[in-house]
Structure 1
């Protein structure tokens, strides 16, 4: 009798266990509103989104109202056409926020199929359209965009990659487009590119990547609303090209197209950040007086050699990043001549092969001393190696930078193992006793202690 009677404490304990098990069995995710679940599914490829229909009755038709469709050859392999049509036939959402096609061109996927799929997306007021063709070989353009793409009033973002033929009609008008990405596409002529840009009245972001088959002789970027621009080349085989920029609201510019032989700009008074990795940019750099963040590759840095006296006063420059050889360090004086507000300096050191194993007594010129001492707070070095010039550079900055807070030095694994040599660096005289010296591995970026 006594064994069959539970004490109150045991009954409460047993009840708690059952309650916990019940909580574990509750499908909390399925109880979320459709809007939340659709938002989560929009981050998945469409094939995975459709696969959730087998979870329960709650999920059977949920994928049909997800406002994002993404089709990739990695999911559908050699069967691409039928699944896309099947999904579009069952799709029930009134609007499409994102529509993405990413595939390797095959015979069964032609202009007619692409046109029907894109037309369906445009009818659903698509906002972001991405079309990517992955070429196995340079066989020429395979997909021609039809006129309705360039007449969409809802497109906010248009991204075209690979073998897309861009022949812009006369009646183009992308009144809502803010982001345009054109990478390795085919243009009918110069007029197609220029006409496309001139009919994007609120365009803010532009990315252009030229390929070896690019046939444009002049990139004329005349967009009053443009704020960010990135022009690059996919290979060195592209034809030489002229770049013309008229974008008075431009805030950020990144140029890395080695085949642009001439750059002309109208107004860069609002420019905040510039990343330049190409030659022939001397005139461009002269217009960057208001820039705050400036990054120059070795080729770009060489652009100031020939006429450094006409460089502007970089009154707003707070961060400078340069890649250069030690024998060119004396040109840094011209760049820093009027950079009284410089707070951060990033040095990517290049050691020429003819310097390896030889004594090198190069160092920064004395005229740099004032610029280093009045404002510099952080210095980052990459490519630091066991050369006399490298050690002199560190000693020089530590001795003169009275406001320096941190010096970060990137080394190879080989030099990292020579801890005793690096420890001597910690004993160098410092103008700023608050300066912290940090070492990191150039390859991994991981910091290490001696």
Structure 2
């Protein structure tokens, strides 16, 4: 009997997988891309009807044999949806690298929503490669905004979609909302968020305010007690490499109100709003600010930026883009105290000075780690002033100025420098970056570690840094070590500052 059963298995007359219940087989298939799950119908008659009951649909045109034939992708989705009819659906994902018919995609949404879908994720590229005001698709189907089952909704139409719902918005179970490249007016924006009562993650990328609303101040409120993560950037998105940004007068008429007591992560990229009614992030752990001024704002910036900073002053980890450094210059005298801040990251650029760094550092009494993404620096009239910059300044006669007190009184224990040696323009010099590292070592009394991640094709630059550090006659902290990290193992090293003489600095 035993040998007979073994022969049947070898002959392929039966297999253990095909003997599993339909529900378990469908569960197994739900972990595969839908194209691969459909290919199992060729295995045997037993597998042919199973695709109709697979609860997770993942369509990715990169696995099609001819991805450029977008019509075959669209036809395949049509066939699968028709095959499944009204079967229960948990997940509907569609990721396309090639251009597809966005209007057909919008037609699919009401069909999948009728099936009590929990998770919708759409990534549709733009035929033009970018989004313009005239290229938006029609509004998203209103069925999306009254779903009782949706838990996760991610819509990324690179050509842009509009959001306009006549009735109420009710998404009682939605926890994640991610909208990329969309147009909405402020009234609809408030209505949308008011219908998301349990939202935990809100990602609004390349938002374009619909300017068809009536003129006057428009009030925008983001106040969701359950919200933990918020990422916000308008469509007039500024790249870190751009020197200017299109700023509309409409943004200056928007009055923002942020009140999210449980938010732990914030990424905010925008020009400064015309007014901040309220900014309150009591539980904030990490924040990334990419701020720009609009052309028409001057004195108002001081009040608005200060109010924004006051709302995030409980943050523990803070990232500032180099354009944000420009913006912070308008509120040096009204800078709030960041009592809980332990890590600060500064993105630097050759055309941006460091005048705003002293007031920031002076108001971080518990800062432990200071991170520089590059050591690029624009020399301004304030360089060399005791409280004007943190660079190694010199007066008109080439004599070093007094030690900057924001460094000499700093509690910072660790400095990390990424992309050390990176040269963006001809006028940059590696010697300036080496002098800056020495300035930190000579001035800061609590340093325990300086980590330099260098990005330079010239080994001589690293060797010169090592040489000058080893010959350094005085330091602010003799217990400090400098660690140079390179992809080239023999150029990585650790230098102890114990041989240098501690340079005592006066505490304020």
Say if 1:34 and 1:419 are closer, same or farther in 2 by CA, change over 3 A: farther
Number of the residue aligned with 1:439 = 485
CA RMSD of aligned residues (A): 3.9
* Separation (CA, whole Å) in 2 of partners of 1:37 and 1:413: 54
* Separation (CA, whole Å) in 2 of partners of 1:273 and 1:376: 20
Contact preservation (8 Å) 1:160, 1:185: no
Number of the residue aligned with 2:171 = 174
Say if 1:320 and 1:33 are closer, same or farther in 2 by CA, change over 3 A: farther
User: Structure 2 matches for 1:9-408, cutoff 5 A?
Assistant: 41-56=29-44, 59-72=47-60, 74=62, 75=64, 77-91=70-84, 94-102=87-95, 104-106=99-101, 110=103, 114-115=106-107, 117-137=108-128, 138=132, 140-162=135-157, 163-187=160-184, 189-210=185-206, 215=211, 219-234=220-235, 235=237, 236-237=245-246, 239=248, 240-241=250-251, 242=254, 243-258=256-271, 260=273, 262-280=275-293, 281-324=305-348, 328-349=353-374, 351=376, 362-363=391-392, 366-372=404-410, 374-384=411-421, 386-401=429-444, 404-408=447-451
Tell me the matched-pair count.
417
Unaligned runs of 5+ in 2: 1-5, 238-244, 294-304, 381-388, 394-402, 423-428, 494-508
SS in 1 for 2:356: helix
Contact preservation (8 Å) 2:262, 2:283: yes
* Separation (CA, whole Å) in 2 of partners of 1:393 and 1:252: 31
The two structures have a TM-score, normalised by structure 2, of 0.70
Contact preservation (8 Å) 1:95, 1:124: yes
Number of the residue aligned with 1:5 = none
Contact preservation (8 Å) 1:294, 1:321: yes
* Separation (CA, whole Å) in 2 of partners of 1:158 and 1:140: 22
SS in 2 for 1:203: coil
Pick which of 200-209 and 386-395 moved more.
386-395
Pick which of 307-316 and 193-202 moved more.
307-316
| Aligned with residue 422 of structure 1, among 436, 451, 465 | 465
Pick which of 279-288 and 206-215 moved more.
206-215
The two structures have a TM-score, normalised by structure 1, of 0.78
Unaligned runs of 5+ in 1: 1-17
CA positional deviation for 1:204: 1.7
* Separation (CA, whole Å) in 2 of partners of 1:406 and 1:61: 63
